[in-house]
Structure 1
Amino acid sequence: MNDIEFLKTVDVFRDLEPEALQKLRGRLREKELRQGETLFCEGDPGQEMFVIRRGSMTVFKSVSGQLDQVLAGLGAGNFFGEMSLFNRAPRSATLQAESDTTLYCLTRQDCELLLAEDPTTAAIFFYRLIQTFIERLRSADNLLVEVTRWGLERAGAAARAPAGPAPDGDRKGTAQDETE
Structure 2
Amino acid sequence: MSEVRFRSGETIFEEGSNGTECYKILSGAAEVRVRGKGREHWGMTMVAATCGPGEFIGEMSAFDGAPRSATVVAVEDMTCKVYSGEAFLKLLETDHEEALEYLRVLVQRLKQSNVSMSWGTRTG
What TM-score, normalized by structure 2, do the two folds share?
Answer: 0.77
Question: With CA pairs under 8 Å and 6+ residues apart, which has the higher RCO, 1 or 2?
Answer: 2
Change (3 A) 1:104 1:44: same
Identity %: 32
Select the structure of larger CA radius of gyration. 1
* 1:83 matched residue in structure 2: 60
Change (3 A) 1:134 1:78: closer
Moved more, 124-133 or 55-64: 124-133
* 1:145 matched residue in structure 2: 118
Count of aligned residue pairs for this structure pair: 118
Counterpart CA distance in 1 for 2:49 and 2:110 is 15
Name the amino acid aligned to 2:20: Q
Per-residue CA distance 1:60-88 (angstroms, 9 max, x = gap): 112122x2111222222222222122101
Counterpart CA distance in 2 for 1:74 and 1:137 is 14
The question of whether the paired residues in 1 share the 8 Å contact of 2:21 and 2:61 is answered with yes
Unaligned stretches of 5+ residues in structure 1? 1-27, 153-177
Higher strand share: 2
Name the amino acid aligned to 1:146: W
Name the amino acid aligned to 1:35: S
Higher helix share: 1
1:29 has 2:6 as partner: no
1:136 has 2:109 as partner: yes
Superposition pairs of residues 1-16 of structure 1, within 5 angstroms: none
The question of whether the paired residues in 1 share the 8 Å contact of 2:55 and 2:102 is answered with no
* 1:50 matched residue in structure 2: 23
Counterpart CA distance in 1 for 2:119 and 2:101 is 27
Unaligned stretches of 5+ residues in structure 2? 37-41
